[in-house]
Structure 1
């Protein structure tokens, strides 16, 4: 009987690792789906969609693991960031704040999802919208600090143009996540 429990624990652990790796890959693919809309060089991508979907689906621990895997792959030189960029130097460039915010936001949004008793579309939308706003806020502040442009300009170029699109992505997450969470069906511990 103890062996059955070990087998089940191992299969759940493997499932979590596979899903974390899958979401890391989806985030990388999402980085290539981009629309450059601001003169400040910050494109609209599907990265944030997959970052937040990973967080609410996998929870704080495995959602965060998927983000860390994605970032490590990019930092060691694989071209997985927006525009096919890679390397540690990207953290210090204009879009670095968006990238490092992914870790904190995945943890917070995943934690909120873990705690949510009712994982319905409205709840998942709210968590995704909160996460999107945090990503945009941190990214905009970093954009201003890394380029020495006034914070108002950084906010206007790094937050405002993306807000509506990110809310649309949050609605999509609200619609997709509840079914995906049921399909995945494991606790996020």
Structure 2
């Protein structure tokens, strides 16, 4: 019994580390800078995938591991950024928002139907839109207002620049979940059965 528990914990730790590394690798894709001081990156796709594929708690742990590494100075954010300074910039709300975004995405994925690969993909899309777009953007807008001192309506309209790309990321996340559900039918999508 103790060996099985240790194996499950080891698997969980490995997945958390793997997804933190995956988000770091996504930071190698060049960023697109916008006037708000917040770049468009592929890393938010990693946040969505962490929630959908790992579930709320392990997805949250993967994001925390990644953000701790960034805070420690590792240049893991798109454009080679890292250190505590990134948490004092206009990106603050978005970076902090990765935590509740991954958790919410994972929680929704755990609650939504996943009986078939197609249903799992549809659930991943819905979970990504609600967690990875709505929750994340709410934190991002709050960060722009509180840290960058941008007026609320200007922050809201500026944030809308990210929505088309993030919706595309939701589709990509759904496609990844569909592929995983077909190739690995025993995968605990959204942490189900964990």
TM-score, normalization by structure 1:
0.88
Is the CA contact 1:60–1:106 (under 8 Å) kept in the aligned structure 2?
yes
Partner of 1:153: 154
After TM superposition, give the deviation of residue 59 of structure 1 in Å: 0.3
| Distance in 2 between residues matched to 1:84 and 1:53, nearest whole Å | 22
- In structure 1, the gaps of 5 or more residues are none
Partner of 2:36: 40
Matches within 5 A, 1:174-189: 174-180=174-180, 183=184, 185-186=187-188, 188=191, 189=194
Please state if 1:62 is matched with 2:64: no
After TM superposition, give the deviation of residue 25 of structure 1 in Å: 0.8
After TM superposition, give the deviation of residue 178 of structure 1 in Å: 3.6
Partner of 1:72: 68
- In structure 2, the gaps of 5 or more residues are none
| Distance in 2 between residues matched to 1:6 and 1:185, nearest whole Å | 22
Choose which of 109, 112, 117 in structure 2 pairs with 1:116: 112
Cα RMSD for the two superposed structures: 1.9
Is the CA contact 2:92–2:143 (under 8 Å) kept in the aligned structure 1?
yes
Partner of 1:138: 139
After TM superposition, give the deviation of residue 93 of structure 1 in Å: 1.0
Choose which of 13, 17, 38 in structure 1 pairs with 2:9: 13
Specify whether residues 186 and 149 from structure 1 end up closer, same or farther in structure 2 by C-alpha distance, changes over 3 A only. Answer: closer
Is the CA contact 1:57–1:181 (under 8 Å) kept in the aligned structure 2?
no
Q: Which moved more, 1:61-70 or 1:129-138?
A: 129-138
Partner of 1:26: 22
TM-score, normalization by structure 2:
0.86
Aligned pairs, how many?
184
